[in-house]
Every structure is written in C-alpha cells, then in structure tokens.
Structure 1
Amino acid sequence: MRLAKSIEGRSESSSDNIAPVVFVVDDDVSVRESLESMIRFAGLRTETFASAHDFLRHPRAMVPNCLVLDVSLPDLSGLDLQNLIASERTDMPIIFLTGYGDVPMTVRAMKAGAVEFFTKPFDDEVLLGAIRLALERSRVALSEHAETKEIEDRYASLSTRECQVMGLVVSGLLNKQVGGELGISEITVKAHRGRVMRKMNARSLADLVTMAARLRLACAEMATSRQ
C-alpha cells in the first residue's frame, strides 16, 4: 500500500504532464468514485467526467492514456462518443463498461476499436489489467505518431527537385532512369539522391522506402509534389 501511495503521489506532482492518465466517463457518481479510488490505489493518474460533453471539453492528452467509458450516458451514448473520437484519437484505447451487455452491442464496440467490453459488476484486477494493456498500446501509438511527425518534418525540408528524385527512387527506378524522367544528368541525380538520404536521415534505400510508406504518399504524388 505504501508503494502504491508513493507512486500515486509522484503522478499527482510535477510529473502530471508526462504520467499516463486514465479517463473515466460514467454518469453514476458512485461508480466514478469507485473507479477513481481503484485506479489511484493502483498508482495511476485518473480524471473523471459525468458526461460525454464534459469529457469532450477536456484538452486532448499527449501522454499515454485510455478511456474507461460507460455505454449509457445522459447526453451522447458511449458508442456515439466512440464513433465521434475514433478517427482523431487513435492513441486513446477505449474500455467499455455496461450494466446490461448484449452481443450486438459488444460486437459493434469491438469492431469500432474498443479493447475490452465489461459488464457490471466487474472484477477489479481484470479491469486494471485491461487498463495497463490499454496504456501500453497508447504509448506505442504515441511513439509511432512522433516518429511519423519527425519523418514528415524531414520530408518538408526537401526541395522540389529532391522530392521528385525521392519519389522516383523509392518507386524502384535507377539513377539513369530517374535522370531520364526528369531531364537531368545521372551525376545530378546522384547529388540530389545523396542530399535526400542525408536530409531524411536514411541509412539505406530500404530505409527511404520505409519512410515513404510511413508518409503514406504514393510515389507518383511524391514525384510531382510542390510543382
């Protein structure tokens, strides 16, 4: 217990801006308080809300996080809230709670990306296990987002010609073929290619191809960008 309280104290101090957070949305105050107590005792930071609209007014978390969400809410339902935030908060796994689960509801929630669906009353340790897994999934997603943003920033630093060369190179063309496509010499292509590799911090062609895939840019689009 002393260890849990010690961890809890750290998460509520100046480290709040980096500590994982568990959001709880439930209109039943007794459930909210019970969940808050359980999560805090486990050494995790939590913030609770009585409605979907209250939650939506809260700034988006940029730390590992998850949402423990009741299906039945006084404004938007939990499933409606899930649909609303699914595309823009991919780093926030959702764990559903309900007092009356049914198969179609569970299937709908899981297909939309929910990580777990619990019917009340639930086992505290099982729920905490799901929360920890959700926070780890969030951490991985945030890390991937940060890596993609770094690649996007590098790509934005390329000149128009460098973008064209990169697009043709990752499509599999040889330097001579790239030169033919762009109307420039093979030596000039090699110079542009070298700058692309340095600016993109790519150690090999395979690295560059992987980065292009992370950017989700079609080779043709990359080759004609910024024209």
Structure 2
Amino acid sequence: MTAEPLILIVDDDEGLRRSLQFLFASAGLESQSWDSAEAFLADLPAHGPTRPGALVLDCRMPGMGGLALLRLLGERGYPLPVVIITGHGDVRMAVEALKTGAYDFIEKPFREQHLLDTVEAAAGVSRDWLDRDARRRGVAERLARLNRREREVLERVLEGKANKVIAHELDLSIKTIEVYRAALMDKMQAGSVAELALLVALHREDAARG
C-alpha cells in the first residue's frame, strides 16, 4: 500500500477543526473534516477506506456523540482506527471508548506532538489492515479462478501427496494431474509448493479473522 494517509476529523467546533487540519498539514498529512457524526456518515464510503488513515473524533457533539459513532463503525466492521479527543473526559469515558474499540483517548488540551504521534501510529495500523485486506482479496481472486479439478488437486498437493497418489485418488492419469498442477500453480502465481501452502494458509487465517 503506497497511498499517503488521509486523516478524518469529526468535531462540531469549527475552530478546532481548522486548527487540526493546519496541524496535520504542517506534518505533511492530508485531512478532511465534518461538523457532525451524521454528516460524516453521509459521506462514508460503504466499501471501506481505500487509503490508510485515522479518524479523529470528538466525544461530545450535538446529535450523535463520538462514542455512538465509534460503536456504529465497529458494528459495521469499518476498518478505521479511531482517536477520541474530548475536553470532558474521565476515567469511565476513557475505559468505555477503549472497550468500544478506540485506538486511543486524548484529553484536551493536548500536546500537538502527542496527537501527531498518535495519529501517525494509528495510520500505520490502518496501512497494515489495508495491506492485509488487499492480500486476502488477491489470493481469494486467484482461488476463485481454479476449476473443480484444480481445487481437488490443490487440496491433495497441500496434503503433501505425490502426483501418482493424486492420480489414483481422482482416477486420472499422472500426465493429467501434472497438467492440472501446473495450471493451478500458474493461476495462484506460486513458484513452489511451499509458497502455494503459505498463500492458502494466510488466506484461511485472514478469512477466519473476518
């Protein structure tokens, strides 16, 4: 993933939004802002973010508050690290935010460098999520290109079975198995059985994580 991070800001305080955008720009970070959770949700792409980044979210706002938005994003499985900021924080609120899935909780007034460090670290986590998702989708697309026979051969290759054993189990000639095996290796873009096994294992592991 080579795209530059995009920092999203949701806060009803116009002055703070401008201040945060100036701060992020000074660090070379592009940002966008909204004055309410409702406005943010109206612009939120349903397919998820295409760039790494983080959401800087005010906890207390008119209408939907920050914790409610955080909870909603979690329910949707929207992969975006959330940094909660608030001028009315307390221990209970911080614990609730972190339990709900916030990446971090920062009280106002905050040190600018601390916020920058936190947002950049969150963007790094987001980059890892997007890279993992891209890898998972890529392997899934390759697996989807395999036909039924190639899938049958794939499973037996992963079990370490020799071509003659696979041929006997599928009632096919060894030559035919060699053709299927070469085809599936090509479609999976794997240079060896070890690489093939790693691709499939990572795909299954990522799929199990959701």
Residue matched to 2:208: none
Deviation at 1:73, TM superposition (A): 2.5
Percent identical across equivalent pairs? 36
Deviations 1:103-146 (A, max 9, x none): 34323332443221101111111000111112222222222222
Shift of 1:74: 2.1
Distance, in Å, in 2 between the alignment partners of 1:167 and 1:64 is 35
Corresponding pairs, count: 199
Output aligned runs, 1:27-46, within 5 Å: 27-46=12-31
Deviation at 1:214, TM superposition (A): 3.0
Of 120, 123, 134, 1:146 maps to: 134
After TM superposition, the score normalised by the length of structure 1 is: 0.77
Corresponding residue number in structure 2 for 1:201: 189
For 2:144, the equivalent position in structure 1 comes to: 156
Could you say what secondary structure the match of 2:106 adopts? Answer: strand
Q: Return the offset for 1:58.
A: 1.5
Specify the SS of the correspondent of 2:12: coil
1:55 is the counterpart of 2:44? no
Aligned to 1:124: 112
Q: Deviations over 1:57-98 (max 9, x none)?
A: 2243411221001122223222222222235332x2111112
Q: Distance in 2 between matches of 1:115 and 1:143?
A: 18
Whether 1:88 and 2:73 are equivalent positions in the alignment is: no
Structure 1 residues 24, 209: CA separation in 2 closer, same or farther (over 3 Å shift)?
same
Aligned to 2:97: 109
Cα distance 1:104–1:173, how it changes in 2: closer, same or farther (>3 A)? Answer: farther
What is the match of residue 223 of structure 1? none
Displacement of 1:22 after TM fit? 0.7
Q: Which residue of 1 aligns with 2:54?
A: 66
Q: CA RMSD in A?
A: 2.3
Deviations 1:11-65 (A, max 9, x none): xxxxxxx542110011222322221222222222111111111111224341122
Q: Does 1:168 align with 2:156?
A: yes
Which residue in the other structure is 1:225 paired with? none
- 1 CA distance for matches of 2:148 and 2:94? 49
- Counterpart of 1:7? none
1:96–1:181 distance in 2 versus 1, CA, 3 Å: farther
Mean Cα displacement is larger for which, 130-139 or 48-57? 130-139
- Per the normalisation by structure 2, the TM-score is 0.82
CA distance in 2, matches of 1:177, 1:103: 63
Q: Distance in 2 between matches of 1:156 and 1:27?
A: 46
- Secondary structure, aligned partner of 1:48: strand
